[in-house]
Amino acid sequence: MHRRTALSVSAALLVAAPLLSACSGGTRPGTAAVVGGERITTSALQAQVNDVRTAQNRSEQGAQLIEATAGLERTKLNKMIQSAVLEQAAKDAGVSVTTKEIEGVRKAQLQQAGDEKTLEAAALQQAQLAPGQMDADARFKLLRDKLFAHYGSQEKALAQLGAAAKALDIEVNPRYGRWDAQQILLGDQETPWITQRTRPEQAPPAGA
């Protein structure tokens, strides 16, 4: 579950529907979390979970994969919140990712994996990623690694991530656990910018 495997990226999928929608504040019904005054809806969260479950059910190891990911809702919500924090921190730092860079990652990942089927299987098994989520995961790692490089150290980058998270005034529906502002994560979920830092072209699955 933790060995490094390259993942594919589809630049075209980067224009997927927004995960956040306008919100007047508070975790009202239908809200999984509020980040920067906008809410992550329970329907958006469930859509991500359903995509993974669909892919798992199609896998020969489906039963085992589903059993091993009982906390998938929290895992996905944690990543959605952290992605919003990372995007804000990157914006503050003037750090961005281009389509060309993402295409370069796709080429390297596919070359390492050998074919799309192997690529998608690795993403699903090791990082709970459905095929349509792989591009966003690659963007996450590209931005993360650029942010680390921009500040020159993990410590400084994490301080900026913490500042971004504080400015976004994050609230989480208690149904999904407690937001840990100090660790910048939801409950006992792992935080990928601490546990894994690699060059973009060698980026492993999130949470690896």
Total domains in the fold of the chain: 1
User: Which two three-digit tokens encode residue 4?
Assistant: 């490094």
Q: Does residue 1 form part of some domain? A: no
Q: Does residue 5 form part of some domain? A: no
Burial of residue 63, with CB atoms counted within 10 A of its CB: 0-12 exposed, 13-18 middle, 19 or more buried: exposed
**CA–CA dist 194, 197 (Å, integer):** 7
Instruction: Pick the more confident residue, 7 or 176.
Output: 176
- Residue 196, domain extent: 11-202
Give the CATH number of the domain where residue 70 resides.
1.10.4030
Dihedral of CA atoms 200, 12, 89, 167 in degrees, nearest 10, equals -150
Confidence class for position 59, pLDDT limits 50, 70, 90: very high
pTM of the model: 0.79
Mean of the pLDDT values across residues 25-48? Answer: 88
**CA–CA dist 56, 177 (Å, integer):** 24
Confidence class for position 191, pLDDT limits 50, 70, 90: confident
Q: Does residue 120 form part of some domain? A: yes
Q: Does residue 44 form part of some domain? A: yes
- Average confidence score pLDDT of the chain: 82
Q: Assess contact for 140 and 83: CB atoms under 8 A.
A: yes
Above 80 in pLDDT, residue 204? no
Tens digit of each residue's pLDDT (9 = 90 or more) over 126-180: 999 999 999 999 999 999 999 999 999 989 999 999 999 999 999 999 999 999 9
Q: Does residue 4 form part of some domain? A: no
pLDDT of residue 127: 92
pLDDT of residue 8: 32
Q: What residues does 39 pair with on adjacent strands?
A: 21, 34
